[in-house]
Structure 1
C-alpha cells in the first residue's frame, strides 16, 4: 500500500518539480532511480513523492534550504540536470517552505 511521506513537524521545505516528458526514455528511467537513491542518502532529505499523467509532479522534502542547495550542487545530480533537454519538453522547479502539514 502506498502512503504519503511522513514528514516532521513544520517548518521544513519542499521542492516541487513539474514536468512534461519528451518522447523516448533516453536513459531517464535508470538515471531517475539513481538520483532518488543518491538523494535519499543526502543529509536533510526527508522523503519523496511522485505522480505522472500528462504532467509529472515530483516533490522532495528537505530539512533546510542548505540541504536543498547541497543536493542541487551534488556532482552526479548536476550531470543529470545537464541532460534535461533529453528528457523533458518543459519543466518548472518551485522551492517552498512548508508552514502547515495535516492529514490522516
Structure 2
C-alpha cells in the first residue's frame, strides 16, 4: 500500500504454506485528497494484526495499483477485513478515491524465493 519512494525494492519473503493473500488492484480517481494520510494509517494498523506477514505494492505508469497483503491464516485476514477503521477507509475509497477495483483472496499452497548471493551487478 505504500507510496513511499524510499521504500526498499524487495518482495515479501516466501513463507511456509499454507498462508493467504489478498490482492487489491485499483485505478484511482483524480481527487486523492486525504488518501496518503489514510493509506499510511492503514499500513500502521495492518502491521498490528497478529498473523500479518507483509505487503507488496506496485503501480503501473498507466495508473493501475496492485497491493498484495500476506496473512498467516483466515482469522488474520478476517481481522483485517472487519477492522472498523479499515471498513471506514473502504467506504471512503468507494465514494472518493477509486474509479474501480478488484479484490482476490487466495490460499497459497506453494511458495519459494530467490536472492542473488553476490548482490546486484555493478559496472
TM-score, normalised to structure 1, is 0.94
Q: CA RMSD in A?
A: 1.1
1:59 aligns with 2:68: yes
| Distance apart, 1:101 and its partner CA | 1.0
| Distance apart, 1:84 and its partner CA | 1.6
Q: How far apart, CA to CA, are the structure 1 residues paired with 2:22 and 2:93?
A: 17
Aligned to 2:52: 45
Q: How far apart, CA to CA, are the structure 1 residues paired with 2:89 and 2:110?
A: 32
- Total equivalences in the alignment: 104
Q: How far apart, CA to CA, are the structure 2 residues paired with 1:98 and 1:20?
A: 25
Of the three residues 95, 99, 113, the one matched with 1:103 is 113
| Distance apart, 1:3 and its partner CA | 1.0
Contact 1:7 1:47 in 2 (8 A): no
| Distance apart, 1:7 and its partner CA | 3.8
Q: How far apart, CA to CA, are the structure 2 residues paired with 1:87 and 1:45?
A: 25
Q: Which runs of 5+ in 1 are unaligned?
A: none
Instruction: Tell me which protein shows more strand as a share of its residues.
Output: 1
Of the three residues 16, 26, 46, the one matched with 2:23 is 16
Structure 1 runs, 4 residues or longer, greater than 3 Å off: none
Q: Which runs of 5+ in 2 are unaligned?
A: 1-7, 115-123
What secondary structure, in the 3-state scheme, does the structure 2 residue paired with 1:82 have? helix
Of the three residues 85, 93, 118, the one matched with 1:76 is 85
